[in-house]
Structure 1
Amino acid sequence: MTDRPFRWLLTASGLSNTADGIVVVAMPLLAITLTRSPLLVSLVSAAATLPWLLLSLHAGALADRHDRRRILALTTWTRVTVLTALAAAAWLGTLPLPALLAGALLLGAGEVFADTSAQSVVPMTVARERLGDANGKLVAAQTIGNNFLGGPAAGLLTGLGAAAAFGAPALLYAAAGIALLGMRGRFRVEEPSTRPLHHDIAEGLRHLWSHRVLRDLALLSGVLNFANSAYFAVFVLWVVGEESRVGLTPGRYGLLMVALAFGAVAGSLLTDRVARKAGQVRTLVVVDLAGGVLLLVPALVPTPAAIGLTAVLLGAAGATANVLRVSLRQRLIPGHLLGRVNSAIRLIGMGSTPLGAAAGGALATAAGLPAVFAAASVLCVLAVTLTCRSVTTRSVAEAESAADTTVQPAPA
Structure 2
Amino acid sequence: MSPTAPSPGPHTSKGADSDTSSGPARRRPRFGLGFWAVCGGMFLANLASGISSVAFPWLATSVTDSALLISATAVLLELPWLLASLPAGVLIDRANHRWTLGLSHLFRALVAGGIALVLSAGPAPLALIYVAAFLIGSVTVLNENTSQVVVPALVPSSLLERANGLLVMTDTVGGLFLGPWIGGLLLGASLMLPFVFEGGLFALAAALMIFVVLAPRTGERPRRTLRSEMAEGLRYFWSHSQLRTLGIFLGLLNLSSAVALSTQVLFAQTVLGLDATRFGLLFLAGGIGAMLGAGLTSVLERSWGARRILLISLAGNALTSLTIGLASNALVVAFAIASGGMLSTVWNVLTVSYRQRIVPPEMLGRVNSIYRLLAWGPLPVGSLLGGLLVTLSAHLSTREIGLRTPLIVAALIAGVLTVLAFARLREGIWSSDYRAGKEG
Q: TM over 0.5: same fold?
A: yes
Partner of 1:331: 357
Contact 2:320/2:340 (CA < 8 Å) preserved in 1?
yes
Partner of 2:41: 12
- Determine whether 1:117 maps to 2:146: yes
Larger mean CA deviation between 211-220 and 377-386 belongs to 377-386
Question: Cα deviation per residue 1:201-243 (whole Å; 9 max; x = unaligned)?
Answer: 2221111111111001101111222333454455456558x9x
TM-score by length of 1: 0.81
1:363 deviates by 5.9
- Mapping of 1:7-406 within 5 angstroms? 7-24=36-53, 46-87=75-116, 92-94=122-124, 96=126, 102-157=131-186, 159-160=188-189, 162-186=191-215, 188=217, 191-232=220-261, 235-236=264-265, 245-249=273-277, 255-295=281-321, 300-301=326-327, 305-357=331-383, 359-360=385-386, 370-392=404-426, 396-397=430-431
Contact 2:34/2:212 (CA < 8 Å) preserved in 1?
yes
Give the Cα separation in 2 of the matches to 1:292 and 1:151.
29
Gap change, CA 1:209 and 1:28, over 3 Å in 2? same
Give the Cα separation in 1 of the matches to 2:366 and 2:305.
28
Give the Cα separation in 2 of the matches to 1:340 and 1:75.
18
1:86 deviates by 4.6
Gap change, CA 1:6 and 1:107, over 3 Å in 2? same
Q: Secondary structure at the match of 1:138?
A: helix
Question: Cα deviation per residue 1:160-188 (whole Å; 9 max; x = unaligned)?
Answer: 56544444333322221121222134465
RMSD over aligned Cα, in angstroms? 3.8
Gap change, CA 1:53 and 1:328, over 3 Å in 2? same
* Matched residues, number: 400
Q: Secondary structure at the match of 2:227?
A: helix
1:308 deviates by 3.6
Give the Cα separation in 1 of the matches to 2:256 and 2:362.
32
Give the Cα separation in 2 of the matches to 1:370 and 1:23.
32
Gap change, CA 1:232 and 1:189, over 3 Å in 2? farther
Contact 2:41/2:206 (CA < 8 Å) preserved in 1?
yes
Contact 1:260/1:313 (CA < 8 Å) preserved in 2?
yes
Q: Secondary structure at the match of 1:195?
A: coil
Give the Cα separation in 1 of the matches to 2:307 and 2:213.
36
Gap change, CA 1:394 and 1:213, over 3 Å in 2? closer
Partner of 2:28: none
Give the Cα separation in 2 of the matches to 1:363 and 1:89.
44
Q: Secondary structure at the match of 2:94?
A: coil
Give the Cα separation in 2 of the matches to 1:66 and 1:195.
14
Contact 2:105/2:206 (CA < 8 Å) preserved in 1?
yes
Contact 1:21/1:146 (CA < 8 Å) preserved in 2?
yes
Give the Cα separation in 2 of the matches to 1:386 and 1:375.
17
Gap change, CA 1:354 and 1:70, over 3 Å in 2? farther
Give the Cα separation in 2 of the matches to 1:95 and 1:299.
43
1:324 deviates by 0.6
Give the Cα separation in 2 of the matches to 1:214 and 1:356.
23
Q: Is the helix fraction higher in 1 or 2?
A: 1
Give the Cα separation in 2 of the matches to 1:324 and 1:29.
36
Contact 1:60/1:340 (CA < 8 Å) preserved in 2?
yes
Larger mean CA deviation between 3-12 and 230-239 belongs to 230-239
Q: Secondary structure at the match of 2:276?
A: coil
Contact 1:217/1:387 (CA < 8 Å) preserved in 2?
no
Give the Cα separation in 1 of the matches to 2:55 and 2:325.
23
Partner of 1:410: none
Give the Cα separation in 2 of the matches to 1:29 and 1:377.
35
Give the Cα separation in 2 of the matches to 1:370 and 1:169.
39
Give the Cα separation in 2 of the matches to 1:58 and 1:253.
38
Gap change, CA 1:217 and 1:106, over 3 Å in 2? same
1:106 deviates by 2.8
> Match for 2:274: what amino acid?
V
Give the Cα separation in 2 of the matches to 1:374 and 1:99.
42
Larger mean CA deviation between 9-18 and 258-267 belongs to 258-267
Give the Cα separation in 1 of the matches to 2:384 and 2:267.
17
TM-score by length of 2: 0.76
1:117 deviates by 1.0
Contact 1:213/1:399 (CA < 8 Å) preserved in 2?
no
**Higher-Rg member (1/2):** 2
Gap change, CA 1:395 and 1:123, over 3 Å in 2? closer
1:36 deviates by 8.6
Q: Secondary structure at the match of 1:192?
A: coil
Select the structure with the greater relative contact order (CA < 8 A; seq sep ≥ 6).
1
Gaps of 5+ in 1: 407-412
Q: Secondary structure at the match of 1:194?
A: coil
1:148 deviates by 3.4
Give the Cα separation in 2 of the matches to 1:280 and 1:205.
26
Gaps of 5+ in 2: 1-15, 18-31, 395-401
Gap change, CA 1:159 and 1:327, over 3 Å in 2? same
Give the Cα separation in 1 of the matches to 2:95 and 2:35.
19
Taking every aligned residue pair, what percent have the same amino acid on both sides? 32
